[in-house]
Amino acid sequence: MRMESLQLGSERLRAAQMTTLNAAIIALCAALLTIAPARAAYPPPVVAPHAMVASAERDASKVGIAILKRGGNAVDAGVAVAFALAVVHPDAGNLAGGGFMMIHLASGKNVAVDFRETAPGRATRTMYQDAHGRIIPGASTIGYRAVAVPSTVAGLALAEKRFGHLSWQQVIEPARRLAAQGFRVSPAVADVLSDPGVQKQLSRFAESRRIFLPHGRPYRAGEWMKRPDLARTLQRLQQNGPAEFYRGRTARLIAADMRRHGGLITLRDLSGYHALFRAPVTGEYRGYQIVSMPLPSSGGITIISELNMLKHFRLSALGPLSAASMHDIIEAMRRAFADRARYLGDPAFTRIPVARLISQAYADQRVQSILPEKATPSSQIGPGLAMPAEHKETTHFDVVDAAGNAISCTYTLNGPFGSGATVPGTGIVLNNEMDDFASAPGVPNMFGLVQGEANAIAPGKRPLSSMTPTLVMKGKRLFLVTGSPGGPTIISTVLEILLNMIDYKMDVSAATAAPRFHHQWLPDRVRIEPVGFSPDTIRILKQWGYVFGAPSYMGDAQTIEIDPKTGARLGASDPRGSGVTLGY
């Protein structure tokens, strides 16, 4: 029995003000029954002495390991995994989406790669509003007008050119072979395809219907799937380099399909896209250095702000999933997400007070309004709005190689299968990333996130993101590589993995599998997962003023820890998904 279970029991006593020995015994037993079985069910971490890959699909993880064994480094393997996921994980893996990559070099240098999509040149601030200023349902999520300029290929190419060891052709070949020869559809992909809403969206587009709903039904788990059009696209990329996607035949096919269906993206938009290197955003938490994505990802700033506030609380003494620790964490989440909505956007378009937001002095000020055993209503910070169902059609993967280089990468189509449209003759599924802008400032997007003027639509602008690929350093040594899909719950998932390992001393598997909760300021609801939370704890939190939304699972994290004593790699793929961690 782990110590945190006993701590959780004692915290319940304090929180509910139980004074009798009999009540103490009841509470302690509840803690043991609630927490111990869940902990015992966690599988042990995957352990490897040299190198490790963790991704959402077994085939993709196998590709990464094969690249490492043939002499590639972490960047080579990561690029190869990304291309493979575009084949075998088509609801999120992609060539026509975008994302972020954190790179750690064995020399100690950390670099952020921003390959976030941009708004087309013909995009306008009010393009998703009707004549009365109301949001047009589905306009920013379905079809060709929802598509932002694709950026994945540019980002992978930038990372590979600067830091890879193998050739561009070599890192694409495993994905091309999977697309041409075929693969078994995983349970995770089959589950997404079985969703009636996904089927309805794919059915709107003839090419998507032909590829993903053959014979009028979706692929089932274990069925064999080939993607010959995508294989030919990958072959052109091998032969012609990344410029093929932005200026070659592939670009012309995308632009022509846009013209046919009223989309905004032109050849000029494609040829003008550039991925960027950026300086990571960094913070300190209990002796660890947090290294994460800067803007236009909101994840790094938001997590560092939350951690700065949480330094004021003795979470290790309160125990994981106790009423008191959840109260402190939720209040930090609430305040950090309020700042996210108010201030954050593309730094090329908006002046943003990043240094102040991640400063300890600002966190010290924000934490003063957190009252013990009492929820702070979000109405005191801003108006409440409704939360839609969670989407998780983003995917994350990690690689650590034998030399100590590492990557943490999250990329996405945004919704499941993005806009639903596939470009004929290419096998390329198009994103619906324009929904990540504030279609009308103050109105929630598909994830329920309220965003302000800083994230309004403008040509060439990069939408704000919640993707949070993260590195953790202990001194000069790499300690942890992690990240997750899950819309705004990405930020909470990564935060809780860090707290689980740093404050609660869980191993990497338990930290990745532990129950999760989330608060994003608006709407004023706490989201929890369906299992792992004591009814006693939830009752106490409700007494303190918290309101809970419908339970649902969150995230699909991939995490790799580097043992500080032995240097061994210890990894875990989230049991909420079908990801696989492999090492050698």
Encode burial over 179-208: b for 16+ CB neighbours within 10 A, e otherwise: bbebbbbbebbbebbeeeebbebbeebebb
CB 275 within 8 A of CB 282: no
Cβ count near 21 (within 10 Å)? 8
CB 153 within 8 A of CB 245: yes
Catalytic residue, from 394, 395, 537, 581: name it: 394
250 is catalytic: no
Q: Is the CA virtual torsion 169, 170, 171, 175 positive or negative?
A: positive
* Of residues 191, 211, 179, the one with CA closest to residue 420: 211
CB 513 within 8 A of CB 529: no
* Of residues 323, 337, 310, the one with CA closest to residue 519: 337
| DSSP-assigned letters across all residues of 289-319 | EEEE--TTBSHHHHHHHHHHHHTTS-HHHH-
HEC string for 396-430 = EEEEECCCCCEEEEEEECCCCCCCCCEECCCCEEC
HEC string for 42-79 = CCCCEEECCCEEEECCHHHHHHHHHHHHCCCCHHHHHH
> Helix or strand or coil: residue 570?
strand
Write out the two tokens for 534: 């004591």
Write out the two tokens for 211: 């590829």
* Of residues 251, 258, 260, the one with CA closest to residue 146: 258
Residues carrying an active site annotation: 394
